[in-house]
Amino acid sequence: MAGPEFLDTEQGRKLAYHRTQGAGPTVVFLGGLKSDMEGTKAVHLEAWCAARGQAFLRFDYSGHGESSGTFEEGCIGDWAQDTAAALSALTTGPLVVVGSSMGGWQALLYARAHPERVAGLVTIAAAPDFTEDGYAASFTDAQWAAIERDGQVEMPSDYMEPYIITRRLIEDGRDNLVLRSPLPLPFPVRCLQGTADSAVSTETAVRLLEHADSPDMRLALVKGADHRFSDGPCLGLIEEAIVDIMGLET
């Protein structure tokens, strides 16, 4: 496979991306925290869209994958800027935005800011407001002390090496919360969530479902699926959700 192309943003960041030309709406994949566009779901959906003749975009946020910067420099707002820049420069027309984990939060931020571009939204183990409801809410006194003293703290992960969580990530996250104020999503939304997910709870998925205002929003709980949501049956469910939103037959 050919290497990525790169987009220079107004913020001076260089974003790596792969784009597949095809019919609209364009399917856009937004990955999770510390994930990159070479993950199973992103690559699978690219091949699936190519086989259908469907336009598709995957990219790395700054500090992720092959894009510029380091993870520790970034925050939710930076990655929202990256998303807006990539979708503005690299896509035209309506979008079906597929957001996984932190990418689900990014998808919601993009949809709130640019509802006119979004034909539909698919979330996979969406993690809106996780910096506040996950990290900040669970920090011990010692971890808060480390944040104050060092500007960062190391947090374990069940799915990869530990995360370095910075004060900036926490503080910026508070400026980008989506579950504390109205969240209009005037298009179809399909939310997928595994019951064996140790990173994002089913309660989070239900909270998003109850909070958002959408004319057609559904949540599917998949018994035994974990946070990766990337085995064969789960990938099939993602495909089905996209097709459902586009109103097409498989």
**CATH at 107:** 3.40.50.1820
Given the residues 60, 82, 172, 197, select the one marked as catalytic.
197
Let me know if 101 is a catalytic residue: yes
Give the Cα separation of 35 and 160 in Å (integer): 9
Residue at 204 is within a domain: yes
Q: What integer is the mean pLDDT of 121-147?
A: 95
Domain region containing 201: 5-128+182-246
Best CA proximity match to 121, nearest among 206, 21, 218: 218
How many separate domains does the chain show?
1
The alpha carbon of 166 is separated from its chain's Cα centroid by a whole number of angstroms, namely 19
Predicted confidence band of residue 249 (pLDDT cuts 50, 70, 90): very low
Let me know if 197 is a catalytic residue: yes
Given the residues 18, 64, 172, 227, select the one marked as catalytic.
227
Residue at 187 is within a domain: yes
Residue at 163 is within a domain: no
pLDDT of 6-36, one tens digit each? Answer: 999 999 999 999 999 999 999 999 999 999 9
| Burial (0-12, 13-18, 19+ Cβ within 10 Å), 105 | buried
Residue at 37 is within a domain: yes
Let me know if 201 is a catalytic residue: no
Residue at 100 is within a domain: yes
Residue at 149 is within a domain: no
The alpha carbon of 246 is separated from its chain's Cα centroid by a whole number of angstroms, namely 20
Given the residues 62, 67, 100, 101, select the one marked as catalytic.
101
Residue at 74 is within a domain: yes
Residue at 148 is within a domain: no
pLDDT of 47-103, one tens digit each? Answer: 999 999 999 999 999 999 999 999 999 999 999 999 999 999 999 999 999 999 999
